[in-house]
Amino acid sequence: MTTASGFREINFDGLIGPSHNYAGLSLGNLAATMHAGKISRPREAALQGLAKMRLMLSLGLGQGFFLPHERPNVAWLRQFGFGGSDAQVCAQAWREEPLLFAQACSASAMWAANAATVSPAPDTADGRTHFTVANLSTMAHRSHEWPETLRQLRHIFADQRYFAVHEPVPARFGDEGAANFMRLAAPVDERGVEIMVYGEAGGAFPARQSAEGCRAIFRRHGIESSLTVQQSPEAIAAGAFHNDVVAVAHENILFAHEEAFADKDAFYEALQTRCNDLVIVEVPASEVSLEAAIASYLFNSQLVTLPDGQRALILPMECKETPSVRRWIEANVGANGPIHAAHFIDVRESMHNGGGPACLRLRVLLSPEAERAVNPAYLLDARTIERLEAVVSSHWPEQLSPTCLGLSDSWQHFNNARGELLAVLEQPFE
């Protein structure tokens, strides 16, 4: 998507790391807990993610990537009193605190939608693109991601003329990044309405996004037009642990499930007064239940505008395989509607851990000048994808079970694989 003024959206996907496993660490993420203990396929997972990035490039869209984090996170384990060499730290942690060690091995940074909240330059007071790194404080296995995420963002978006990268809001106030963020603007290079969706505590599953965190981010970014909206308790109870499991916005389109928001009517009314040419594409519960929407990740699709102006959904294969969802897509996506095409992709390894196509990417809207200021080593082209695919095919484990996390051979394998990845990059992250 490139506008008349040259702005275009680039999706930065998390490259799925070699420690990708099904330890079932994420309470409220039904797919993750359902697959707990099963054998994962890190190599296949990473190649599936790269195939999605390749599809995006083939459609004429901008695509970047983030590096997998170092795993196990030995520095984090040392904070719990484990000492000695890195190998000794890992061995002691596995022996005495196996759950903690599994949390230190999590590859969940692959879901780049949780890396940060991004406000594009047209919305902010100082005309720069602002990032606030998510604290991810609700889940232990994700709470230690932010320092490396901060380093990567500041390495990739280093030019302070165009970018401001902020540390997380205080951990007492949960923030899970762009997975709970939406933006409506038409055209996209004009000031938009930024929306953050929070949850209220009290249900069976944790509400991961706090209202205080949402408001803090808007203040930091200097956002004039913002809305803070409550996610419906019913959606959280059904397994929508992030808003992007039940709603997504793009340009002037809000694509959402009927039961996504706690006070839908008030939210829609507020949008109508702020958004020119607003189009709400609402999926009725009578046609697609919350359970079917969440199991298929219909709303965790990527809603994009192609170079020819056509709008398309990038959907997980599970949407085609879920009868009610497939029927809705066949009836509503096409030339006569606001969404013109559907592309189905296989990201099953990510889906089994509770993350669909939209979970894997962080959207960044950039002017031509800002795009030129991005570290080019993290912008993809066909050659770079081939190099990444070659490293993954040669060095990522073929299979991994949660019990294998305790093997020293596994730790070495993870480190060696990441080292090989860094070695092939022209500007390796340090």
Residue 87: how many other CB atoms lie within 10 Å: 12
CB of 314 within 8 A of CB of 345?
A: yes
Residues involved in catalysis:
176, 242, 359
DSSP secondary structure code for residue 403 in this structure: G
Query: 94, 105, 56: which is closest to 345 by C-alpha?
Result: 56
Task: Return all residues near 280 (Cβ < 8 A) that are at least 6 apart.
Answer: 253, 254, 256, 268, 271
* Domain 8-71+106-424 homologous superfamily, CATH: Succinylarginine dihydrolase (3.75.10.20)
How far apart, in Å, do the first and last CA atoms of the chain sit?
31
What DSSP letter does each residue of 294-313 carry, written as one string? HHHTGGGSEEEE-TTS-EEE
Query: 183, 156, 172, 196: which is closest to 425 by C-alpha?
Result: 156
| Domains in the chain: boundaries | 8-71+106-424
Map residue 134 onto helix, strand or coil: coil
- Report the percent of the chain where pLDDT is more than 90: 89
How many Å apart are CA 78 and CA 73, to the nearest integer? 9
Task: Return all residues near 62 (Cβ < 8 A) that are at least 6 apart.
Answer: 8, 9, 10, 11, 56, 366, 371, 379
Tens place of pLDDT for every residue, the chain, 430 residues?
A: 555 578 999 999 999 999 999 988 877 777 778 888 899 999 999 999 999 999 999 999 999 999 999 999 999 999 999 999 999 999 999 999 999 999 999 999 999 999 999 999 999 999 999 999 999 999 999 999 999 999 999 999 999 999 999 999 999 999 999 999 999 998 999 999 999 999 988 778 888 899 999 999 999 999 999 999 999 999 999 988 899 999 999 999 999 999 999 999 999 999 999 998 999 999 999 999 999 999 999 999 999 999 999 999 999 999 999 999 999 999 999 989 999 999 999 999 999 998 999 999 999 999 999 999 999 999 999 999 999 999 999 999 999 999 999 999 999 999 999 999 999 886 555 5
For the record, the structure tokens of 383 come out as: 């050659």
